[in-house]
Amino acid sequence: MSAALAVVRPGECHVWTARAVSVRSAAAPALLKLLDAGERARYEAFLRDDPRALYLTAHALLRELVGAELDRDPAELAFTAVCRHCTSGGHGKPRLPDSPLHLSLSHSGDRVAVALTYTGPVGVDVEQLTRPGEAPLMVLSAEERAAYDLLPEGERTRGFTRYWTRKEAVLKATGDGLSVDPALLTVSAPDAPAALLGWAEREQPHPPVRLYDVPVSGDCLVSVAVLGDDCRVVMHEVAYDGDGVLRRPRRTGA
Ligand SMILES: CC(C)(COP(=O)(O)OP(=O)(O)OC[C@H]1O[C@@H](n2cnc3c(N)ncnc32)[C@H](O)[C@@H]1OP(=O)(O)O)[C@@H](O)C(=O)NCCC(=O)NCCS
């Protein structure tokens, strides 16, 4: 992949999405070579092909993009994970200890997303619209639930999914993840510009939370949150070819 595909300038947040590469495809071995021993162990531990493919694609894509951005060998990058709520290690928000680059990854359905920025801690969330089962409405705050109940039936799946990507993006940016009840956060209504409107039980948690919806093709929604100054979001939809090489992105501003 050309480094020119991954220049993250100050004041920008770049978000890449890609469809998962089948673990049975000819491309998979090329992606697998990028993972470290710990990632390969997690990859092997999945019992089903679909989550394996998502995991493989997300972590290979993260490595390729960070490697290109920092001009480093993707396979040599040593990521760590930091948990806000315990010290046991091995889980939590991913980071690259020796770099000012902030990063986040997400996977859902057949889609993965990676976000990179120098502005501040970042959280990205991709969610497929066609999620089986009932929407877990208990994750909505009272204000969100009131707005959700007013949505026409046909807009509820998209509306709920938008609430969810926004909330999870914020919780991933702060590093809290789902150890914080998402119902404590109130984000703007699905048809309004993305914003964090309130966070019960948290006074002044961190730098300002900037929240953005990211336009993406297909049946999924993506939101990204950045802690710090407002930034320009740049979206790339990329695809792996049959040899496991990333194809040139289609680029759109958010
Ligand atoms: C992180 C979490 C929000 C992910 O939700 P999800 O919708 O299943 O997954 P996504 O695909 O959007 O994101 C997964 C990625 O988020 C990242 N991540 C994990 N924990 C994170 C955190 N606390 N903050 C930010 N990012 C996190 C990882 O890169 C993970 O990828 P991986 O599992 O392939 O390594 C959720 O699983 C979670 O919060 N888990 C931890 C709960 C917790 O903190 N328990 C207490 C531990 S002491």
Distance CA 254, CA 252 (A): 7
pLDDT of residue 89: 75
Compute the distance from residue 179 Cα to the ligand 1 centre, in Å. 10
Residue burial 30-60, b: 16+ Cβ < 10 Å; e: rest: bbbebbeeebeeebeeeeeeeebbbbbbbbb
Atom of ligand 1 nearest to the CA of 126: 12
On the CB side of 234, how many CA atoms lie within 13 Å of its CA?
16
- What number is the average pLDDT over the span 26-43? 96
83 lines ligand 1 (CB under 6 A): yes
* 161 Cβ contact partners less than 8 Å away, ≥ 6 residues apart: 127, 129, 131, 221
Q: Is the pLDDT of residue 240 over 80?
A: yes
58 lines ligand 1 (CB under 6 A): yes
Q: Is the pLDDT of residue 252 over 80?
A: no
Indicate the SS3 state at residue 234: strand
pLDDT tens track for 169-179: 999 999 999 99
End-to-end CA distance of the chain: 24
- What number is the average pLDDT over the span 71-92? 88
Nearest by Cα to 126 from 66, 166, 82, 175: 166
DSSP H stretches of helix in the chain: 28-32, 37-45, 49-70, 142-149, 156-174
pLDDT tier for residue 2 given thresholds of 50, 70 and 90: very low
Q: Is the pLDDT of residue 5 over 70?
A: no
51 lines ligand 1 (CB under 6 A): no
Instruction: Identify which has the larger pLDDT, 134 or 227.
Output: 227
pLDDT tier for residue 28 given thresholds of 50, 70 and 90: very high
- What number is the average pLDDT over the span 155-170? 96
Task: Please choose from 40, 103, 107, 167 the residue to mutate so as to test ligand 1's pocket, defined by most ligand atoms within 8 A of CB.
Answer: 107
- What number is the average pLDDT over the span 204-231? 92
- What number is the average pLDDT over the span 45-60? 96
| DSSP-based helix, strand, coil % in the chain, nearest 5 | 30, 25, 40
- What number is the average pLDDT over the span 215-227? 95
Q: Is the pLDDT of residue 3 over 70?
A: no
Instruction: Answer for the pair 96, 77: CB distance below 8 angstroms, yes or no.
Output: yes
111 lines ligand 1 (CB under 6 A): no
Sorted by where each starts, the structural domains of the chain and their CATH numbers stand as 10-243 (3.90.470.20)
